[in-house]
Amino acid sequence: MTNLDLIRNVSIFQGLGEPQLSLIATACKQRSYGTGAYLFRQHDPRSEFFVIQSGEIEILEHVGNDAVPIARLSSGNFVGEGTMLDGLPHTASCRANVDTQAFVWERADIDAFFENEPDASRKLLAQVASAIAQRLRSSNFGYRGGGTAVYGAGQQRLEHDLLGERPVPADAYFGVQTLRAVENFRITGTTLSHYPNFIKSFAMVKKATARANRALGLLDKDIAHAISLACDEIIAGSLHKQFVVDMIQGGAGTSTNMNANEVIANRALELMGHEKGQYDFIHPNNHVNLSQSTNDAYPTAIRLAILLSYEDLTRAMDDLCYELKQKAVEFSDVIKMGRTQLQDAVPMTLGQEFDGFYATVKEDIARIRDLVGLFREINMGATAIGTGINTHPDYAQLVTAELSHISGVELILASNLMEATSDMGAFVTFSGVLKRVAVKISKICNDLRLLSSGPRAGFNEINLPPMQPGSSIMPGKVNPVIPEVVNQVAFQVIGNDLTVTIASEAGQLQLNVMEPVIAFNVLQSMRMLTQAMIVLADRCIKDISANRDRCRDLVDQSIGIITALNPHIGYENSSRVAKAALERGCGVAELILEEGLLTRDQLDDILKPENMIRPRYVANPAPKRASGA
C-alpha cells in the first residue's frame, strides 16, 4: 500500500480532495518502531502526527508510577492528531506493542499545509475535533486494558441497522448495534470483557446453536463450521476485548447478545476469506442468531457463566477453611475468656473460637454446590417468550445436548419454557446464599478486629499481621486493613442481593427485562467474595499469632470463671462471690479460698483449662455455707 492509499483511507482526511491528499502523502515520512519503542511520551511537546501502516501501538495513561494501557490501535488508525491544534504537551504516552511501521507528518509540514491550503485545513480541523471528542468520550467511561475499536478513529467501514447507517472502526469485530449500545449505556464502565466466563459461555451457546442448526439442515455446513471456529477462539480467550458493552443495559440483554453475534460473525467472515462487515455471506442475525432470541440465549449464557465460575468461589472458601483449621489446631491450648453481649462469659480456647469460624464457612461450601445446580435448567429453544416460535420441533432438545457436550456441564431443558423465560427464582435463591456467606465472613472479620484491638487499650488477644502503616498523623499505628476490606466486600454483596431481589420481582408478564442488573450483581458478588476470601486467607489468617499470656491473664482476672464453680458451691454463693470480687477488685479464686468454700486442690481441679472448655459430669454436692455466714 502506498502512502497515498493509506492516507486516502484514514477517516480524519475524509472530505479532502486528491491534490490535498497527495500533498500530505508526499510530506509524510516512513518510520520503523521496534517493540516497546515510544512514538511519544507524556509531557513531550506535540510535534508529529502518526498513521499506522502496520503493526500495533498502545496508548498509555500514567497513574502514579504505573503506565496503564487504555487503547490499542492497529493499521489504518492514527494518533497525535492534537499536533494539528497546538504544541501543548501530550497527556498520554504511545509506544509500539509489536514491531510497527508508521507514516509521520511533522509539525513543520503541517504548518506549511495549513498556510497553503486554508479551505482544506478547516475541513481537517473539524475532523480532528470530532476524533478527539470521540476518544475522550470512550476513555472517560472506563474502556481500559486494550480496547481498540471504541477508542480508534482511523479506517472505518459503513454498517446499517434499523435506525440507519453508521461508520464502524474498520478493525473492530463488533458492529453497528454494539456501537449504539456503547453510546447508549455509559453506566458502570464495567464491560462484558470483565467477566471472561460470561463471554466464553456466550460463545459456547452460539457454537451449540450453530451445530444444532447444521444438524437440522437449517444452516450451511461451511457457515456453521466458520461460526464454530470463531466461537472456539473466543472460548480459548481470544477477542474478549471486543466485548465492549456495559454490563448494565436496557433491552433485557439484547445489546450483549448482538455484541456476541457481531463479533462471531465478523471473525467467521475472516475465517471464510471475507472482510469484516460483509454480512451477505455471514450475518449476525440470520446465521449466528438463527433459532434464537436474546430471551433464551442471554439467560442461558448467564446460568452457564455461574456454573463455570462457582468453583473459583468454593475453592477460595476451601482455602480459607484450611487456614482457619490450622489456627484452630495451633491455638488449641490457648485458654481465653468467651464473651456474650461483649461481657465476660465462660472460658474457652482460642482454638475453639477459630474452629467455630472454620465450621461456619465450611458448611456453606456444600450449600453453594447444591444450589448452583438450579442453573443447570435452561430455556434454549424458548426464543421470544417460551413458545419456541421460529425453531425446529427438535431444536430445543438438540441444542441443549450440544451445549452440554461443549461446556462439559450437564444441562437440562426446562419442562415449561414459558416459566423458565420469565422466572428469576434461581437467581434469588443463589444470591441469597451468597449473602449468607457474606454475612458470616463479615461477622468473622468483626471478631478478628475486636480480638486484635489495642494493642494496649483493647482486647489484644491476637495479633493480625501488619500490612501497612495505619495513619498519616498517628505514628506507629497499624490498622486491621484486611478484615476491614472484607467487611466492605460483604456490605456490597448484601446490597447486591437486595438489587437481585428487587430486579427479579420487577419483571412483567412473559419476560424479566432486568436480567442485566441481575447478572451483573450475581457475577460481581461471586468475584468479590472469591477475591476477598483469598486475601483474607493469604494476607491475614495465615499469619495470625496469639498473645497467650494476655489471654490467660484475662481468664484469671475475670469474674466469668465463677460459672465453672457454680455446680460446686451453688448459685447463691457464686452470685455473692462474683459481686464481692467486683466490689473489692480481687479474684474469684481468692475469695473462694478465703471463705473456705473449696480447698486449693478442689479449686485447681475445677479451674484446669481442660475441665472448663468441654462437658464434664459433676455430682451436685450440697453447697457449703461460707464461714461465718
- Active-site positions read 471
Strand pairing class (29-33; 78-79): unpaired
DSSP bridge pairs for 619: none
CA distance 344 to 447: 15
Dihedral over Cα of 217, 218, 220, 226: its sign: negative
CA 457 to chain CA centroid, nearest Å: 38
Residue whose C-alpha cell is 450451511: 220
Strand pairing class (78-79; 93-96): unpaired
Contacts of 130 (CB under 8 A, 6+ apart): none
Using CA atoms in the order 163, 169, 172, 177, what is the torsion angle rounded to 10 degrees? -10
> Number of C-alpha atoms within 13 angstroms, CB side, residue 262?
26
CA distance 224 to 287: 8
DSSP bridge pairs for 517: none
303, 385, 427 from 374: Cα distances, Å: 9, 20, 9
- What is the DSSP secondary-structure string of 275-304? -TT-TTTS-IIIIITTT--HHHHHHHHHHH
CA distance 486 to 532: 6
> Which amino acid, residue 612?
M
* Entry field: residues in the chain: 629
CA distance 91 to 83: 12
25, 27, 119, 415, 581 from 113: Cα distances, Å: 12, 9, 10, 70, 96
| Contact between residue 254 and residue 296 where contact means Cβ atoms under 8 Å apart | no
In 3D space, the residue among 276, 291, 270, 280 whose CA is nearest the CA of residue 219 turns out to be 291
Mapped onto helix, strand or coil, the DSSP state of residue 79 is: strand
Mapped onto helix, strand or coil, the DSSP state of residue 213 is: helix
Contacts of 131 (CB under 8 A, 6+ apart): 11, 12, 78, 81, 153
